[in-house]
Structure 1
Amino acid sequence: MATDRATGPTRPRPGREAGPDRPAPDPARRARRARRARALRPWLLLAPALTVLAVLLLWPLLRVVLLSFQDYGLRQIYTGETHWTGLDNYTTLLTDSALWTTVLPNTVVFAAVCVALTVITGTLVALLLQRLGRTWRIICSTVVMTAWAMPAVTGTYVWIWIFDPLGGIVSGGLDALGLIEPRETNWFTDRWSFYAIATLNVVHHGFPFVAITVFAGLLTIPRELPEAALMDGANAWQRFWKITVPTIRPVFTVVTILSTIWDFKVFAQIYLMPGGSGSNPDIFNLGVWSYHQSFVKNEYGMGSAIAVLLTVLLLAITVVYLRALFKERDDL
């Protein structure tokens, strides 16, 4: 044992060196601790943001799920009572003929058509941007982004003005050609024409995101690939289908997933159009129907059940797309 002239014998400091009663630290254990610390560090940095998201998103979602199992209306809001009804709201919802003949077809068919047209239109615009020169590319990109920056409410009122039965551009033009009688034609009362206008609105608002995203993906394709295909005699469609699509398939998957989520929960573009706020039940989709049941009929339990059904439908579609995306990544 070492000694010190002033203080006497000194003791070994704990943790400094190994002794017979203190075995040497295991290197593998230290490595595992270091790995755990490195894995935990990003989550600690994200903890404040995740906490805020949990409060703002998870709690309202949980509240909606709880309300869907209750008979909750104005009386319950006033008295604070909780009247649990189990699965009665879901039973009533799933046995309602309006769900299967009107609301669900409106939601699914409308979303499917909008997603297909949005992705196709955005892809065509992206291919156009790829072929343009620098100046025209900047001009066209600016115009495209202006359409995307327009709020959904503003865009909806623009389309309402365009198809106004008396003073709209479409009705006025067709009246000048002698094809319709404006006073006898209302584009918003018929289910098909109503959703045709809503489709134009949604596609016009959504295709710029697809165009810019796909254009960014096109810039990552090596120039040698299409040039080699062109020398081999491949036409434009063959180059697109055999080279472009497989190369940037993850980009198409992402824009399709996001477009599907956005188009399934479209609300403003339907609700703000004439008849969309409840006077025409034939044009209800799940989002508008949930709002109508909750805030017009004050049946918050039934409205919450409809919202949960829409959420489950979106989650199912998203899981299918994500599994396809991960499978493609694993196959590469």
Structure 2
Amino acid sequence: MKSTINGGGATDTRPAVGGGREAGPRTASEAARRRKQLTAVTRPWLLLAPALVVLAALLLWPLVQVGKLSLQDYEVKFGGGVGTWTGFDHYKDLLSSPLLWKTVLPNTVFFAVACVGLTVVLGTLVALLLNRLGTVWRFICSTAIMAAWAMPAVTGTYVWIWLFQPEDGMFSKIAGGLGLIDPETTNWFTERLPFYAIATLNVVHHGFPFVAITVFAGLLTIPKELYEAGMLDGASAWQRFWNITVPTIKPVFLVVTILSTIWDFKVFTQIYIMPGGSGSNEDVYNLGVFSYNQAFAQNDYGTGSAAAILLTVLLLAITVVYIRTLFKQGEEDL
């Protein structure tokens, strides 16, 4: 307050101009609030920084190097290598290749779609079975299917090769005994369709346990009262599944579909080590095997790297679509 004696002897108690004692605390509180906001924004990134650095070193830097190779003619020499910049020539050659459009991309896309669809469907059916079993049988079945998931891809692939081995493979003998094929002349691995049918069985067998366990975990979060209400309303099992189960754990289905899509689009081991898949039969190439053979079998590192970048871009596009769908679903639930 400002107190002065005016000419009439009265005391002037009007507030002092400028409010110095009020401005100070207000400025200090605003500065503290800004520091708090800055801390809230930067602290998560500081905590994530070590992991992001490791990911950048393990993933981002190799991806940059692959992109660099795709723009060069790289020649390996003793003690190192020499690269000559060619721009986008390798991408032009790759995208104009009939082998890419007639064989490699169709094999990659149709094989991945079939594997993802069958994996999700079979995994969901097994999850529904686990949800209905008792504790003992649930433990036994869960252990059995997890053994399939724990099996290395190389080991599992050789098991399927043994099952379909020409002449003395189990399926060859069964089909021969039924008169469907001639075991002595039939080779399941030379034709495109039976080759990828076996590969699909292999990938689905190896991948469905993950979907089953994940979906089963989601089923445990659904209140039983919802199913009881559906049964009272006369809903069938299919109607309860489609109108209660699917909407409730839709984010779980989206997550397992995203992961299965990423894994199945970049399948390499199961194709490469099957008879004829390592390069002798171009009809069974997918993008992963094509990229590997171009780079290491034909020493065309530029085209091989361009194919790897094409596969990465394809996977990123699919992942972005799925993630946007997942976020949109989350906003609708809110």
The TM-score, its normalising length taken from structure 2, stands at 0.90
Judge conservation of contact 2:291–2:308 (CA < 8 Å) in 1.
yes
Judge conservation of contact 1:156–1:201 (CA < 8 Å) in 2.
yes
What CA distance in whole angstroms lies between the structure 2 residues aligned with 1:89 and 1:98?
Answer: 14
Alignment of 1:265-284 (within 5 A): 265-284=266-285
Letter in 2 for 1:108: V
- Secondary structure at 1:182 match in 2: coil
Q: Does 1:105 align with 2:106?
A: yes
Letter in 1 for 2:103: T
Judge conservation of contact 1:129–1:137 (CA < 8 Å) in 2.
yes
Alpha-carbon displacement from aligned partner over 1:165-224 (angstroms, at most 9, x marks no partner): 122110112222333211100000010000000000000000000000000000111111
What CA distance in whole angstroms lies between the structure 2 residues aligned with 1:278 and 1:73?
Answer: 21
- The verdict on how the C-alpha distance between 1:229 and 1:33 changes in structure 2, with shifts beyond 3 A counting, is same
Greater mean alpha carbon deviation, residues 223-232 or residues 169-178 = 169-178
In structure 2, the partner of 1:179 is 180
Alignment of 1:236-315 (within 5 A): 236-315=237-316
Alpha-carbon displacement from aligned partner over 1:12-33 (angstroms, at most 9, x marks no partner): xxxxxx989x887431221121
Letter in 2 for 1:234: A
Greater mean alpha carbon deviation, residues 322-331 or residues 42-51 = 42-51
Tell me which stretches of 4 or more aligned residues in structure 1 moved more than 3 Å.
Answer: 22-25, 77-80
In structure 2, the partner of 1:60 is 62
Alignment of 1:148-159 (within 5 A): 148-159=149-160
> Which segments of 5 or more consecutive residues in structure 2 lack a partner in the other structure?
1-19
Q: Percent identity?
A: 67
What CA distance in whole angstroms lies between the structure 1 residues aligned with 2:25 and 2:147?
Answer: 69
Letter in 2 for 1:73: E
Judge conservation of contact 2:75–2:83 (CA < 8 Å) in 1.
no
Q: Does 1:72 align with 2:58?
A: no
What CA distance in whole angstroms lies between the structure 1 residues aligned with 2:59 and 2:83?
Answer: 23
- Secondary structure at 1:86 match in 2: coil
Judge conservation of contact 1:126–1:211 (CA < 8 Å) in 2.
yes
In structure 2, the partner of 1:4 is none
Of structures 1 and 2, the larger Rg is shown by: 2
Letter in 1 for 2:283: D
Greater mean alpha carbon deviation, residues 28-37 or residues 203-212 = 28-37
Alpha-carbon displacement from aligned partner over 1:106-158 (angstroms, at most 9, x marks no partner): 00000000000000000000000000011000000000111000010110000
Structure 1 residue 239 displacement after superposition: 0.4
Alpha-carbon displacement from aligned partner over 1:71-104 (angstroms, at most 9, x marks no partner): 11335x7664330101100000000001110000
RMSD: 1.8
> Which segments of 5 or more consecutive residues in structure 1 lack a partner in the other structure?
1-17
What CA distance in whole angstroms lies between the structure 2 residues aligned with 1:164 and 1:192?
Answer: 16
What CA distance in whole angstroms lies between the structure 1 residues aligned with 2:108 and 2:44?
Answer: 39
What CA distance in whole angstroms lies between the structure 1 residues aligned with 2:47 and 2:324?
Answer: 29
Judge conservation of contact 2:90–2:303 (CA < 8 Å) in 1.
yes
- The verdict on how the C-alpha distance between 1:79 and 1:143 changes in structure 2, with shifts beyond 3 A counting, is closer
The TM-score, its normalising length taken from structure 1, stands at 0.91
What CA distance in whole angstroms lies between the structure 2 residues aligned with 1:78 and 1:281?
Answer: 33
Alignment of 1:187-266 (within 5 A): 187-266=188-267
Q: Does 1:135 align with 2:136?
A: yes
In structure 2, the partner of 1:36 is 38
Letter in 1 for 2:171: V
In structure 1, the partner of 2:319 is 318
Letter in 2 for 1:206: G
Structure 1 residue 47 displacement after superposition: 1.8
- Secondary structure at 2:82 match in 1: coil
